[in-house]
Amino acid sequence: MANEQVVHIIDDDEGVRSSLAFLLDCSEIPTHTYESAAQFLKIVPTMQRGCIITDVRMPEMNGLELLARLKSLGVPDPVIVITGHADVPMAIQALHAGVSDFIEKPFSDEVILLAVRSALAKQHNREEIQVERDQIDKRISTLSAREREVMDRLIEGKANKVIAYDLSISARTVEVYRANVMTKMQARTLSELVRMVMIARLA
């Protein structure tokens, strides 16, 4: 399925790639494997969403360099870094760069499965929030400039009379704009409207 979450495994060690893919496939988690960061970057524009597992030490482009490239490309998928003992300082650096988790070799099946499932859950939640944000943005785009002014003041907790004074219009006119805002935003209550606007303003 095109919308199925996939774990992208990047490691120059064929044994590690194969064992990770086998473990995840047995747990009914789809995988794709890549022998280098460069090979993976070629498919990034069309990649299936999910999460990424990458080794730190790889030839040509290491895991930290890959992280920086993915960030510059705006790839939102969580990244799990796997590392040898000597690479722990690099893994800590990767954590500061925003990776989802780092796992030291040798690791147990349970540890990697837990990290992957956690990363996939984060990605799923992020996608759900993005879908909702897109829907809210479309609703906001239907508001007139005056309706947006009224909405902005409503979510600040201002009363109709105060909004009327701020905008130099009558309280009755504010009521009309308020009704329009609630209808166009498909909000049943003021608290629901506030929640929608907060989601739309998420970075």
CATH of the domain at 102: 3.40.50.2300
Reported as a pLDDT band with limits 50, 70 and 90, residue 1 is very low
Clarify whether residues 67 and 117 are in a common domain. Answer: yes
Residue 175 phi, psi dihedral angles, 5° rounding: -60, -40
Domain stops at, among 125, 158, 185 = 125
Clarify whether residues 39 and 65 are in a common domain. Answer: yes
Domain count within the chain: 2
pLDDT, average across residues 153-177 = 93
Instruction: Return the pLDDT at 101.
Output: 82
Which is higher by pLDDT, 17 or 101?
A: 17
pTM of the model: 0.63
pLDDT tens digit sequence for 98-150: 787 888 888 889 999 999 998 888 877 777 777 888 899 999 999 999 999 99
Instruction: Return the pLDDT at 125.
Output: 77
Clarify whether residues 14 and 111 are in a common domain. Answer: yes
CATH of residue 181's domain is 1.10.10.10
Domain stops at, among 75, 90, 125 = 125
* 16 within some domain: yes
Clarify whether residues 120 and 157 are in a common domain. Answer: no
Clarify whether residues 59 and 158 are in a common domain. Answer: no
pLDDT tens digit sequence for 21-42: 999 999 999 999 999 999 999 9
For 137, the token pair is 């943005």
* Count of CB atoms situated within 10 Å of the CB of 24: 21
Instruction: Return the pLDDT at 123.
Output: 79
Q: What is the DSSP letter of 34?
A: E
Name the percent of the chain lying above pLDDT 70.
93
- Residue 181's domain comprises 142-200
For 112, the token pair is 């990697």
Instruction: Return the pLDDT at 87.
Output: 65
pLDDT tens digit sequence for 148-162: 999 999 988 899 999
* Rounded CA separation 87/58 (Å): 12
pLDDT, average across residues 159-182 = 95
Domain stops at, among 94, 125, 156 = 125
Instruction: Return the pLDDT at 85.
Output: 65
Instruction: Return the pLDDT at 171.
Output: 93
- For residues 122-149, one letter each, b for 16 or more C-beta atoms within 10 angstroms of the residue's C-beta and e for the rest, the string is ebeeeeeeeeeeeebeebbeebeeebeb
* Rounded CA separation 150/160 (Å): 9
Clarify whether residues 61 and 160 are in a common domain. Answer: no
Clarify whether residues 95 and 160 are in a common domain. Answer: no
Instruction: Return the pLDDT at 53.
Output: 94
Residue 9 confidence (pLDDT) above 80? yes
Clarify whether residues 101 and 187 are in a common domain. Answer: no
Clarify whether residues 53 and 121 are in a common domain. Answer: yes
* 135 within some domain: no
* 1 within some domain: no
* 15 within some domain: yes
